[in-house]
Structure 1
Amino acid sequence: MKTKKEKEAIIEYLENIRMGKKNTYRCNEDSEVSRIAFLLQNIEGTYTSVTEEAHKEKEGIKYVISNLSHQLKTPLANIKLYETFLEDSNLSDEKRKLFQEKMRGQIGKLEWILESIIKCTRLEEGAIDFEAKMLSIKKTISSAIDTVTLKAAEKNIDITAEENILNIDLYHNMRWTREVFINLLENAIKYSPGNSTIKIDIEQLETYTRISVKDEGIGIRKKEFGKIFQRFYRSKDAENIEGSGIGLYLCRLILEKEKGNITVSSNYGDGSTFQVYLLNTEPFQ
């Protein structure tokens, strides 16, 4: 550097990078300082990109922690409450049994939330050996229906499926896709009134097969169609209904791994239909 001015300019450039300030320094293209400035511009671009990514990651972690603490707060508070009741030596056997059952239910909810978060994290990070292949969708959906039969029976909800169309092979992972349909069916049961029907339909398209799960529940507002697949999102309409806001996000992650998709359609107050799309053939590698 031939002059003190050039040295100071480069020092200022470096200081601005360190402080995250915008640089406006320019010099002659043929000079040695110009080549240094060009390299610094590349460094600045990389540094800015890394800094922005780190900030996004930090905000994402804060968001997850905030929502996780919110989801865990209620069951933990309930467990403490039931524990206090159970410490009462004058409590009748009937009430003791009731509070024990309620406590087990809250512990089960905590376990489900934590297990779901672990599953989501492992899928996001690619820590799971996720293998999909051509398998009978009938077996997968039938297994999911069997899992939720008791819950449906408690509300006298009938689950119907087109048995003759279900017997086809689609590209999916049976274990994980079963979890998709369990989540969708449990949601349908949870948000539907008693003595209603949940209908499963299948339509084979050119590339995908569309599997629809339709309920007669409270429905979803159109403005929330995209939001409900976000992690921890809970509609205000569902504030008084037990849930964690993880299930649909997990469904989306699983189907992305299978090159599939999930969408929703609904008339608010008149039920919802979730459409799962699975490939008819194995994808090109």
Structure 2
Amino acid sequence: MKSRFVSMASHEFRTPLSTILSSASLIERYVDPGTEEKRQKHVDKIKSSISNLTAILNDFLSVSKLEEGKVELYKEEIYLNEMLLDIIDEMSAITKEGQKISLIFDNNRYCLYSDKKIFKNILINLLSNAIKYSEAGSKVELVVEEKNDGILLKVCDEGIGIPEQEQKHMFERFFRATNVTNIQGTGLGLNIVKKYVDMLEGSISFTSKSGEGTTVSIRLPNDKP
């Protein structure tokens, strides 16, 4: 895995590092009044590139910890509606122009007994994918349904989807669909999500159509003590 990561990282790091270097150099030119907009444009590029690099490193560290058995469960009460709104607010900072994340959940008092950190990591990963693989102005929905033994979460997007013949590889490590072209990523995200869901004794499935979007569904138990 480490040799595969080194090969992938050497490729994925090159573009954001080049962007950071060129934007940092260009910022020096925009010091006169009236150039604030151009300067801010390059600052935003630097921030975005750093975010991409951080995501790559976080994915690799998460996989390493999971495979080495270093991730422990700590279950506690989670006031679900409040946490979901906080996550959506956090993720709104990386949405594309005109993109909106909507929460569809009709119980603002629901309490889930689960691991807060792992639960948040799952949702951030899924919402990041929905944003990344969808166009500006598109809609992302987070749908929550109560079930007898827990909850059903759905993250729905209107993005590029996954080609049908490749869907069997969806949760494999380092898998990236052939239609992602120039969109950056490690191919580790959904593999990590699957491992986290297994730790929480839940299940994960998806439906996807190329060019129309993807819906990832997660069922999680609510094992209140």
State the TM-score, normalizing by the size of structure 2.
Answer: 0.81
Deviation, structure 1 residue 265: 0.6
Instruction: Tell me the amino acid that sits aligned with residue 30 of structure 2.
Output: S
Work out the percentage of aligned pairs sharing the same amino acid: 29
The higher radius of gyration belongs to 1
Deviation, structure 1 residue 173: 1.0
Deviation, structure 1 residue 83: 4.7
Deviation, structure 1 residue 135: 3.2
Choose the corresponding residue for 2:18, options 62, 72, 77: 77
Choose the corresponding residue for 1:132, options 75, 80, 92: 75
Choose the corresponding residue for 2:48, options 92, 105, 114: 105
What's the secondary structure of 1:202's corresponding residue?
strand
For residues 97 and 203 of structure 1, what CA distance do their matches in structure 2 show?
41
1:65 to 2:3 alignment: no
Q: Following superposition of structure 1 onto structure 2, how do residues 86-105 of structure 1 map, counting pairs within 5 Å? A: 91-93=29-31, 94=35, 95-105=38-48
User: Deviation string for 1:23-78 (max 9, x for gaps)?
Assistant: xxxxxxxxxxxxxxxxxxxxxxxxxxxxxxxxxxxxx3322322232222222233
1:238 aligns with 180
User: Deviation string for 1:50-109 (max 9, x for gaps)?
Assistant: xxxxxxxxxx332232223222222223334335545xx7x3333455434423332232
Structure 2 CA distance for partners of 1:168 and 1:104, relative to 1, 3 Å: closer
For residues 114 and 218 of structure 1, what CA distance do their matches in structure 2 show?
25
1:265 aligns with 207
Structure 2 CA distance for partners of 1:63 and 1:194, relative to 1, 3 Å: closer
1:170 to 2:170 alignment: no
Structure 2 CA distance for partners of 1:63 and 1:188, relative to 1, 3 Å: same
Deviation, structure 1 residue 163: 2.7
Deviation, structure 1 residue 128: 3.2
For residues 236 and 61 of structure 1, what CA distance do their matches in structure 2 show?
23
Q: Which ranges of 4 or more aligned residues in structure 1 deviate by more than 6 Å?
A: none
Deviation, structure 1 residue 277: 1.4
1:144 aligns with 87
Q: Identify the structure with bigger relative contact order (alpha carbons < 8 Å, sequence gap 6+).
A: 2
Deviation, structure 1 residue 264: 1.2
For residues 223 and 235 of structure 1, what CA distance do their matches in structure 2 show?
10
Structure 2 CA distance for partners of 1:152 and 1:77, relative to 1, 3 Å: closer
1:21 aligns with none
For residues 97 and 270 of structure 1, what CA distance do their matches in structure 2 show?
33
For residues 143 and 161 of structure 1, what CA distance do their matches in structure 2 show?
14
1:24 aligns with none
1:251 to 2:193 alignment: yes
Aligned pairs, how many?
Answer: 220
What's the secondary structure of 2:215's corresponding residue?
strand
What's the secondary structure of 1:154's corresponding residue?
coil
For residues 153 and 100 of structure 1, what CA distance do their matches in structure 2 show?
16
For residues 84 and 197 of structure 1, what CA distance do their matches in structure 2 show?
36
| Structure with the higher fraction of residues in helix conformation | 1
Instruction: Tell me the amino acid that sits aligned with residue 58 of structure 2.
Output: E
State the TM-score, normalizing by the size of structure 1.
Answer: 0.66
Deviation, structure 1 residue 275: 0.4
